[in-house]
Amino acid sequence: MQVEILGNTQSAAKQANALVITTKEAVARVWVYSPTVIRVNISKNTDVADTSFAVIQKPADAIDYKETGDHIEVTTSALKLSIQKSPLRFNFYTADGKELSQDDNRFGVNWQGTRVVNYRKLYKDERFIGLGEKTGDLDRRGSSYTNWNSDVPDHGPKSDPLYETFPFFVGMHSGLTYGLFFDNTHKSYFDFGATTDHQMSWFGADAGDMNYYFFGAQNVADIIKDYTWLTGRMEMPPLWTLGYQQCRWSYMSAQEILDIAKTFRDHNIPADVMYCDIDYMDHYKIFTWNHQTFPDPKSFIDKLKSMGFRLVTIVDPGIKVEPGYKQYDEGVAKNYFATYPNGEKFVGEVWPGRCHFPDFFRDDVRQWWGASFTALTEPGVEGFWNDMNEPAAWGQNIPWMVKFGNYYIPEVRNVYGMEMARATYEGTKKILGNKRPFVLTRAAYSGTQRYSAVWTGDNSAYDAHMLLGQRMVNSLGITGMSLVGVDIGGFSGDPTPELMVRWNSLGVYTPMFRNHAMQGTKMREPWRWGEVNEKIIKKDIEQRYKLLPYLYSSFYQSHQTGLPVSRTLAINYTQDTMIYNPSYQNQFLFGDGLLVAPVISTEHTVSVYLPQGEWYRVSSSQHYDGGHTYTVDAPLNDLPVFAKGGAIIPMQNVIQNTNEKGDGILEINVWYGKEASHFVYYEDDGSSYDYQHGTYHKREISFDPNHAHITFGAAEGSMTSKYSRIKLVLHGFNGRMKNFKVNGHAVSGTDAVEFENSGKVITIAY
């Protein structure tokens, strides 16, 4: 197969809002989406049909460019795209002329058959982060990856590809940052200098266009904002999904689930969610119940609800081939399933045996699928777990000629899971009316954050997998996915009690906190690990519930800006080389103010790196200056968590589940810092969409050490807070700010400050 390299410009002209350049090999189109986002599409097709599954924005109406002799320049207030005409190459600069990223001038964009690749210049100090759910190090320099959504039950810390595809990365060099989203759903490849003798980085796909969005914001947080502006942001999650979730493949009967739920309550261990894995169904037929073991789903779910639990049930895409089964009959009658080119329905084997696969790319199929959820919602299910949607089929190699409508599977395999999650989300949202559904999916593509949470699939019960899971959660955050979980405890294998305890304490700081395990493994619930360990697990889960006001406000940030709850340090400390060191790369910020250092189960001390600024160990209030490494104690009952100087952390008292009201006191913890800081506190009803119409309670809380002032801004939104009182708790002040003011009201250093949520300050002497 010949290599065809993008050659000399033949014509360049404006067509509507695009700049269109032709060469002998292809047509290149350039659109400006915003001052920091430019799209380049290089295609062998002259008429580009824009069929992005990810992008929800449209380009600007006009494009401005300037032609000089051998270059064309597209300039925005933030970016300059300098297009070399012959051979045609695309080179990006900041508006003031700093080089961000260039094509490799020799090879640029080229083809081998249908395969399309872009070779780009690699800078000496260039690092890369991103690609979502991928193994390997935080800094992806020197690594290569493939995107091909796959069911990989036994994956290890080096396996690739995995279940999800997020072809978006951030590059950084020379103190500069840029982002690149290769929106091509075919099997795709990324090589960050791994096999080019560090000459080039490259990305490409088996077919389709060289179609990418270039992001030029000069910090990682703004690049994530732009990427999630382009591909969408999550809605507010139901509050109950942020509580503790207990799952297993499978709790075999309604009675078993009720017993487990009751044991949580008997042991006073907070929890919100129970799961039904595949065995609740009749022979794994989706949208059915096994009437022997789940004889009365409604009364079962009512009982769970009366104990303060929600139920999530699993659904897989495979529809069992069985005449007489509703979904099968309807799907066959209406031709809703994937076919071979001759129209015969494709059959693949999954849990139910021989199955057909719905064509989620069709609107009518998505609607049909969505409407089928009444079988689950009527008895009261509120969460819908979408599994096996890579799609998985035993043997894995669904033939390339299998078709979903007009698409052959190689073109759309990577988006199948997202379209299933979309169908589930849109359908259940319609059925549930004003109630927020919860959708969890295993397979995903860029944009999935609009519909669903994700988890990292079938992990294993060993330390390296726990650390890998954390890196994947952090990396998914770069690609717009904030509500993310891992199977706490490890899906396959049995954790030691120490690992279970450790992983559970890390789970407190995992956006979605779900304990899940494979069939045949030891039972995993908190009380299975001996009294001492149960106590630690309980204390940690309680900490999660105390942090819920902080966590919910952090999700509001994800909803508003796309910034994830779990943040690799590369977002805030991009230029600090220490954070990429494999010893520290698993550390992360949980929201704005907490830094968490994961620790393996066999170590009881750990070396942590605290970036610039000042830090306090939350459990002891010990102060640390940033910019150094420290060896700190990390006993099993005290995972190292640090508050940043200036952190403002709203907390509440321990509740047993998110339906409970608590004592009505919102505790605002302020950790002393030398610089002014602020936090947006956010609250809504936690379950409806009313927040989209102004029913919320939001206020900015600011801390200004220089003027010895803590300010609670005016409340915005029409909702009254569920907390009637606010209690201010100061940490690390040590006499600094002895006489300070809260909203102008003088307070002495010996006062505990409480006030009514209306703003009236009541000080109480210690």
Catalytic positions are 387, 390, 458
Q: Which is nearer to ligand GLC, 413 or 442 (CB)?
A: 442
DSSP codes of every residue in 334-373: HT-B-B-TTSPBP-EEETTEEEE-B-TTSHHHHHHHHHTT
Applying the rule CB under 6 A, the residues between 153 and 172 that interact with ligand GLC are 153
CB 409 within 8 A of CB 400: yes
Q: What residue is closest to ligand GLC based on CB?
A: 249
Please, what is the minimum distance in Å from the beta carbon of residue 288 to ligand GLC? 15
Residue whose entry in the numeric block shows the structure tokens 């997998």: 465
Pairing type for strands 127-130 and 168-173 reads antiparallel
Q: Which is nearer to ligand GLC, 427 or 490 (CB)?
A: 490
Q: Is 750 exposed, middle or buried (0-12, 13-18, 19+ CB in 10 A)?
A: exposed
Q: Which is nearer to ligand GLC, 260 or 618 (CB)?
A: 260
Please, what is the minimum distance in Å from the beta carbon of residue 657 to ligand GLC? 23
Q: Report in angstroms the alpha-carbon separations of 627 from 138, 578, 615, 661.
A: 19, 9, 10, 41
Q: Which amino acid is at 622?
A: Q
* C-alpha torsion angle, residues 540, 541, 546, 550 (rounded to 10): 90
CB 7 within 8 A of CB 84: no
Q: At 43, which helix (H) or strand (E)?
A: strand 37-43
Partners of 130 in the β-ladder: 169
Q: Maximum CA pair distance of the chain?
A: 82
Partners of 725 in the β-ladder: 665, 756
Angle in degrees, CA 545, 550, 553, rounded to 5: 125
Please, what is the minimum distance in Å from the beta carbon of residue 512 to ligand GLC? 13
Q: Which is nearer to ligand GLC, 179 or 507 (CB)?
A: 507
How many of the chain's residues bind ligand GLC (CB under 6 A)?
Answer: 10
Rounded distance between C-alpha atoms, residue 465 and residue 506, angstroms: 13
Applying CB under 6 A, which of residues 31, 107, 249, 264 lies at the interface with ligand GLC?
Answer: 249
CB 307 within 8 A of CB 380: no
Applying CB under 6 A, which of residues 278, 286, 468, 651 lies at the interface with ligand GLC?
Answer: 278
Please, what is the minimum distance in Å from the beta carbon of residue 159 to ligand GLC? 14
CB 605 within 8 A of CB 632: yes
CB 272 within 8 A of CB 309: yes
Please, what is the minimum distance in Å from the beta carbon of residue 387 to ligand GLC? 5
Question: Quick one: tokens of 320?
Answer: 């069992």
Q: Which is nearer to ligand GLC, 250 or 658 (CB)?
A: 250
CB 204 within 8 A of CB 227: no
Q: Which is nearer to ligand GLC, 236 or 278 (CB)?
A: 278
Please, what is the minimum distance in Å from the beta carbon of residue 392 to ligand GLC? 8
Q: How many CB atoms lie within 10 A of CB 434?
A: 10
Q: Which is nearer to ligand GLC, 209 or 387 (CB)?
A: 387
Rounded distance between C-alpha atoms, residue 616 and residue 604, angstroms: 19
Please, what is the minimum distance in Å from the beta carbon of residue 516 to ligand GLC? 6
Q: Which is nearer to ligand GLC, 163 or 642 (CB)?
A: 163
CB 137 within 8 A of CB 194: no
**Positive/negative CA dihedral, 204, 28, 82, 55:** negative
Applying CB under 6 A, which of residues 85, 127, 422, 442 lies at the interface with ligand GLC?
Answer: 442
Closest-CA residue to 274 (of 301, 235, 237): 301
Q: Which is nearer to ligand GLC, 308 or 352 (CB)?
A: 352
Q: How many CB atoms lie within 10 A of CB 547?
A: 21
Is residue 222 involved in binding ligand GLC (CB under 6 A)?
Answer: no
Q: Which is nearer to ligand GLC, 271 or 278 (CB)?
A: 278
Q: Mask of contacts with ligand GLC, 298-327, x by CB under 6 A?
A: ----------------x-------------
Q: Which is nearer to ligand GLC, 222 or 316 (CB)?
A: 316
Applying CB under 6 A, which of residues 133, 222, 277, 667 lies at the interface with ligand GLC?
Answer: 277
Please, what is the minimum distance in Å from the beta carbon of residue 285 to ligand GLC? 14
Q: Which is nearer to ligand GLC, 153 or 295 (CB)?
A: 153
Applying the rule CB under 6 A, the residues between 444 and 463 that interact with ligand GLC are 457-458
- Three-state DSSP at 682 gives strand
Please, what is the minimum distance in Å from the beta carbon of residue 276 to ligand GLC? 10
Q: Mask of contacts with ligand GLC, 631-660, x by CB under 6 A?
A: ------------------------------
Please, what is the minimum distance in Å from the beta carbon of residue 163 to ligand GLC? 8
Rounded distance between C-alpha atoms, residue 188 and residue 544, angstroms: 38
Q: Which is nearer to ligand GLC, 277 or 542 (CB)?
A: 277
Question: Quick one: tokens of 364?
Answer: 């009518």
Please, what is the minimum distance in Å from the beta carbon of residue 495 to ligand GLC? 16
Compute the radius of gyration of the chain from its Cα atoms: 27
- Residues 6 or more apart whose CB falls under 8 angstroms from that of 473 comprise 456, 484, 485, 486, 510, 511, 566, 588
Please, what is the minimum distance in Å from the beta carbon of residue 385 to ligand GLC? 8
Q: Mask of contacts with ligand GLC, 386-405, x by CB under 6 A?
A: -x------------------
- Three-state DSSP at 719 gives coil
Q: How many CB atoms lie within 10 A of CB 676?
A: 13
Please, what is the minimum distance in Å from the beta carbon of residue 457 to ligand GLC? 5
Question: Quick one: tokens of 615?
Answer: 């830090």
Q: Indicate the length of the chain as a whole number.
A: 766
Q: Report in angstroms the alpha-carbon separations of 659 from 58, 258, 440, 722.
A: 41, 18, 21, 12
Question: Quick one: tokens of 645?
Answer: 């100087």
Q: Mask of contacts with ligand GLC, 481-520, x by CB under 6 A?
A: -----------------------------------x----
Q: At 556, which helix (H) or strand (E)?
A: helix 548-561
Site of interaction with ligand GLC (CB under 6 A): 153, 249, 277-278, 314, 387, 442, 457-458, 516
